[in-house]
Amino acid sequence: MIDWKKRLYNCYISSGQAGNKYLGGVNLRLVDYPYLVHVVKKFVNADRDASIADLGCGHGNLLFVLKKMGYKNIIGVDISPEQVSLAHSMGINEVINKDLITFLEHTKQKFDVIFLMDILEHLEKKEIFELIDKVYLKLNPEGRLIIHVPNADGLYGMRVRYGDLTHETCFNQSSLRQLLSACGFNRFTFIEQTPIVHGFKSFLRFLLWKIMTFFPRVLLIAETGTVNHILSQNLLAIAQK
């Protein structure tokens, strides 16, 4: 890894990029992660013994959600020592400090679900292909890859793309389909990240999103002649082996 990127990962929390709000001993709460709960409910195997890996897991918020929802066979991997240390301090001991490629090359386990949440944008194209190829090999038959990335087609997608100095790129449906197809996947779904309704405020956000994105969608339909455009800052991709 190049030195400047390693410096940033080594201080990923202390620089304020991620997880710093938990440094004072604030506990993780399931209610704070409605989107992750939604993703797990909708796209993860209902079998609580399913083998699940969260690659680039940060301080383990997704692993926390999975544990709270009853999943037992889980592991997280992250390259940032600060993130791993914070995870352990909050009792998420399933997180290990390791490079993702090294982990995939040495683990003998295969997985039913692999998460790559906000990871691919940090990698150069050669690294992206190497990672997805190795992920494909480590998925069980009918295994599922769940990807979350900045959306180049999003109305404010560049906020995410340029919100982290370690980001190298962003994606849209077309480029993700191209990547996943080249790496052997032939079944995939792309999903807009709309606000998840879990109370009155989130209902208002959801309503505003639907109303305020209506005219941009119409304009895109007029220009392209196609529908199903994804306008959120991030997009979710589900790929089936």
What number is the average pLDDT over the span 183-205? 95
Question: Rounded to an integer, what distance in angstroms lies between the CA atom of residue 8 and that of residue 167?
Answer: 11
At 101-115, the pLDDT tens digits run 999 999 999 999 999
**Is the confidence at residue 241, as pLDDT, over 80?**
yes
Question: Rounded to an integer, what distance in angstroms lies between the CA atom of residue 225 and that of residue 90?
Answer: 50
- Structural tokens at position 217: 């969608």
pLDDT at 28: 82
Tokens 């990923």 sit on residue: 12
Mean pLDDT of the chain: 94
Domains detected in the chain: 3-196+230-240 (3.40.50.150)
pTM for the complete prediction?
0.94
At 113-133, the pLDDT tens digits run 999 999 999 999 999 999 999
pLDDT at 107: 96
Least confident range of 17-21, 74-78, 99-103, 117-121: 17-21
Q: Answer for the pair 202, 34: CB distance below 8 angstroms, yes or no.
A: yes
- Structural tokens at position 108: 């003998």
Question: Rounded to an integer, what distance in angstroms lies between the CA atom of residue 34 and that of residue 30?
Answer: 7
Residue type, 17: Q
